[in-house]
Structures are given as C-alpha cells and as structure tokens.
Amino acid sequence: MSLSSIPAVDLNDFIRGSAEQKAKFVQELGKAYEEVGFVAVKNHGLSDELRDKLYASVKAFFELPTDIKLKYEDKALAGQRGYTSFGREKAKDSEVADLKEFWHFGQEVTDGDSIKSEYPDNIFCDEVPEFNQYGLEAYRKLESAGREMLRAIALFLGLDENYFDDKIHNGNSILRPIHYGPITSEPKNAVRAGAHEDINLITLLMGASADGLEILNKKGEWVAVTALPEQVVVNVGDMLQRLTNNRLRSTTHRVVNPPREQWGSSRYSIPFFLHPRSEMRLDCLSSCITDENPVQYEPISAGEYLDERLREIGLK
C-alpha cells in the first residue's frame, strides 16, 4: 500500500478553494479519518527545499559522537526537549524499548503568553547550528498546516470552524527528528517503533528516509505505507479520539525492522505531534454522544492525559 491508496486531499482546496471545494475537502477528510485514520495531504506549506535541508541537518546531528549528543540529554526534562538516547522510550504495554534515538523541538512562545512558564526552553545544538534553524522553521510550517487541518475537522464535526484555534495557540506541540539506527545484533522482540497510537490531537509526518511504517487497518491487517516526497501523512491521535468519543479513531501504527540485508542502514523520520494547551478539556463532545455510542471516557484535561501517557511509555 503506497500513499496513492491512502485517501489524498489538497489543503489548497480548503484554504483557497471555492465554497464547494472547501465543503468537499471537509467531507473527504472526515470520511478518510472515519475509515482509515490516515490521510495524505498535498500543498501543506512545507517546501521540498526546507524538508531536504532539515533531513540533511538531522542526519548530521545524529552522526555526531555519542558523548557529544549526550551533552544535550537532560533526563530531568522527561524527554520534553533536546536529545533522548537509545533505549529510553517504549510503546505502551511493551516490555522492550524501541530501537531509536530522537530530539525534541518545542513551542517558542513569543507573544508574552503566560503559558511560557509551563514549557522548558528549547535546547539548541552548537555543533550543527542549521539543525536548530531548520527544525524551528519546519515546526512553524507544520503547526500552521495542522491548524488548517483542525479547522476542517471542526467543520466535519459540526463545530465552529475556529473551535480549536485558541486551544492550540501556543500549544504543547513537539517536532521530533528520529534516528532508527543500524541493527547490529538479533533484536529479539524489539522493533524500531512498537505498535502504538499517538497521544496528541493529530500528527503530521513528512516523508521518512526509508520504508518501515505500517498501519493496522480496520480488518486487523498490517499494511505498509510509503510516503511520497511532496505529501505529509496526517493521522488522528488519542486526544482527538477521546474528544470525539471514538467517532474519529486513533490509528495503530508501528515501524518494523528492515529485511536483514538492510540492517546496516539507518532510517530517519520527522513527525510533528500537534498538542493543545494543557488546560484544553478532552471531555467527549455532546454531539458525539448517542444512545448507540454512550460516553466512552472519563473527563480529563489535555495536560493530565499527557502526563499519564508519558509515564506509560517510560519517559516519566
């Protein structure tokens, strides 16, 4: 299964299209999320040039000696900013850690919003300064695309188009460059990323450097997904699933190990996890509660839910 067989939409139709194009985009997006949980998005605003520069700088950072990378790991931050070394994170309910190391860029609050006190400062790499520049640039582009996606989702759910705007303004979103390293010995039960659902509202994933991503379809089958360079894949996370009382389902996915002959190769991936502000309520929307689909989840805030999940995956 390539992205050509995942539903594809053009974000330009929503942002700049006619009323008919916009309405069609909303319905196609909602249908894709109800049936597949993933959608491929064109014209998302992240240029090929920026993507390529970012990937080159990500590779340069992860090729630094381990002792230099470890300078940027602050375990007291529970992986919120900077570097997280191999073996720290695992999928929920998994006994073994994922075969990956990663970096987190977080929100840069520039408008005097008091929420700044909730966030640790970003950590910046001295050895690869372009990594910081392109990381923050991509963060802003993907945050903007995500805002438009959530506006379309709001309309699909019968909400005001701007329902999510104030809830994600200066939200706790994360850009995560990931390095899945070469596999040097029999990995036993470990995979590059165990089967999981994302915690946040939606995730925007630009094309990874190699195959490996698989999604669990509605028939319970694992299906390989190969990203096209000009598209980002956008999937529903657990926070949106809770908010919509399972109307929009968070899709289970994983990153499998490559064939043995490719064990010596690295894989790079850069997801953007769009999170709301911590005070956003994730209580099920009344419009998503029916006699056939009664309330599935206890009331909780986004901050409380995030804290709970970070403990489950081993970062806290």
pTM for the model stands at 0.89
The mean pLDDT of 308-316, rounded to a whole number, is 75
Q: Give residue 209's pLDDT band: very low, low, confident or very high (50, 70, 90).
A: very low
Which range, 89-98, 109-118, 224-233, has the best average confidence (pLDDT)? Answer: 109-118
Mean pLDDT for the stretch of residues 72-90? 83
Token pair 């991503």: residue:
213
Q: How far is CA 80 from CA 23, 49, 132, 240, 301, in A?
A: 37, 27, 16, 21, 19
Superfamily of domain 3-312: B-lactam Antibiotic, Isopenicillin N Synthase; Chain (2.60.120.330)
Read off the pLDDT of each residue in 275-300 and give the average, rounded to a whole number.
96
Listed in order, strand segments (DSSP E) in the chain are 8-10, 38-42, 82-84, 101-104, 174-175, 178-180, 193-196, 202-206, 213-216, 222-224, 232-236, 253-255, 267-274
Structural contact between residues 161 and 155, judged by C-beta atoms closer than 8 angstroms: yes
Question: Is residue 3 pLDDT above 50, yes or no?
Answer: no
How confident is the model at residue 1, as a pLDDT? 40
Confidence of residue 254 (pLDDT cuts 50, 70, 90): confident
Better-predicted residue by pLDDT, 192 or 147:
147
* Residue 242 pLDDT > 70: yes
Query: How is the chain split into domains, by residue range?
Result: 3-312
pLDDT, position 94: 47
Report the DSSP pairing between strands 267-274 and 178-180.
Answer: antiparallel
Mean pLDDT across 89-93 = 51
The lowest-confidence range among 18-32, 73-87, 248-262, 275-289 is: 248-262
Q: What is the structure's pLDDT at 193?
A: 62
The fraction of the chain above a pLDDT of 90, given in percent, is 62
More confident residue, 305 or 266: 305
The predicted-structure confidence for 156-201, as pLDDT tens digits, reads as follows 999 999 999 999 999 999 999 999 877 655 555 555 567 788 899 9
Provide mean pLDDT across the span 109-127.
96
Helix axes 19-35, 129-156, angle to 10 degrees: 100
Categorize the per-residue pLDDT at 2 as very low, low, confident or very high, splitting at 50, 70 and 90: very low
